[in-house]
A and B are shown apart, each in its own frame.
Chain A
Amino acid sequence: DAGITQSPRYKITETGRQVTLMCHQTWSHSYMFWYRQDLGHGLRLIYYSAAADITDKGEVPDGYVVSRSKTENFPLTLESATRSQTSVYFCASSDILPGQGRNTEAFFGQGTRLTVV
């Protein structure tokens, strides 16, 4: 299926466990992003990637690790989950418009609802 997909949709994990959220896009977009969405905070950027093997921190990167060995995948790993990481996580992708120096619109996945108990 074309588009951007996240897995799993729902996850419950225990404090201290490592958990990985998956994100896959079929468009070969250059940019990929991970956001978390919490009540009262809107969407906050965790990490983003401009291309394969290029990643950079966003606003709230602590406790998270990302990798991008392939253009289409951008997994997010919580190394040792904490209750404060209970949230809804969204992956997104966008591309660069040729010759215009700006991005296209961002396309979002359906989100992963993570609960850390």
Chain B
Amino acid sequence: SQQGEEDPQALSIQEGENATMNCSYKTSINNLQWYRQNSGRGLVHLILIRSNEREKHSGRLRVTLDTSKKSSSLLITASRAADTASYFCATDRGSTLGRLYFGRGTQLTVWP
């Protein structure tokens, strides 16, 4: 069964707006990762946040993690049409080294 579940399933915004995607998971984790997938391509790693971290930044990306609520959010600021893609969160389960459990993803569309 999948570990992460993204919300919303689809998000449509205008260029310049911020996009927020959420991820909920069920079990304890060592870290949580966010990936991006452009149409017809493989997944590309965006950012990793460890279970003892609460917030992390990378360029226009901001990731938060709330282990008490078993949830994470990915914020893309000042979005661009090129940000149009599917975004996935992935978690481990602590004891299962190596495996990643992906959610179904959020499809983000940014209109110019």
A110→B42 contact, CB < 8 A:
yes
Given A42-B105, A43-B88, residue A106 in contact with residue B97 (CB < 8 A): no
Q: Is the interface of B mostly helix, strand, loop or mixed?
A: loop
Residues of B within 8 A of A110 (CB): 41-42
Chain B proximity of A106: nearest CB distance (Å): 6
B97→A102 contact, CB < 8 A:
yes
Residues of B within 8 A of A59 (CB): 1
Number of interface residues of B (CB under 8 A): 25
A42→B33 contact, CB < 8 A:
no
Chain B proximity of A20: nearest CB distance (Å): 19
Cα of A102 to Cα of B97 in the assembled complex, Å: 7
A103 near B: Cβ within 8 Å? yes
A49 to B, closest residue via Cβ: B98
